[in-house]
Amino acid sequence: MLRKGVHLLGPEVRRPFAALIATQAAHSCEEYAWRLYESFPPARFVSGLVSSDLQRGFLIANILIVGFGVWCVLWPVRLNWPSARPLMWLWVAVELSNGVVHPAWSIAQGGYTPGVATAPILFVIAFTVARRLRVS
């Protein structure tokens, strides 16, 4: 039962949000395969917080991130919990940032950097989710 004033999240928002999380999984795979944790200082820092083995730390951190995204899709968003919208906006902010930072870093480096291939897709899907959240 929904509380008064709470609007259902329809498939027009839930589906692109699920696609955003799936794309984040692909993005994490790209970053892992091309060893982002070796070349990007923030990734190296976070990986080091998780494990002294940067590769292992990066893998664990990304499994947790994607796992959290899957949890968001399956429970708060699908079941329309009150926390669903704030969680979706959090993901939108993170993925819009991903979509800007990766290309900017590649430009600064003068070539491909891990994650830049999937970052624009994250940006487009996050923008779509944001637009649909605003009108739903």
pTM: 0.94
Specify if 2 maps to a domain: no
Specify if 27 maps to a domain: yes
Residues 13-63 have pLDDT tens digits of 999 999 999 999 999 999 999 999 999 999 999 999 999 999 999 999 999
Specify if 87 maps to a domain: yes
Specify if 120 maps to a domain: yes
Specify if 129 maps to a domain: yes
Specify if 61 maps to a domain: yes
Total of domains in the chain: 1
Range of the domain at 85: 11-135
Specify if 18 maps to a domain: yes
Q: Tokens for 36?
A: 């982002």
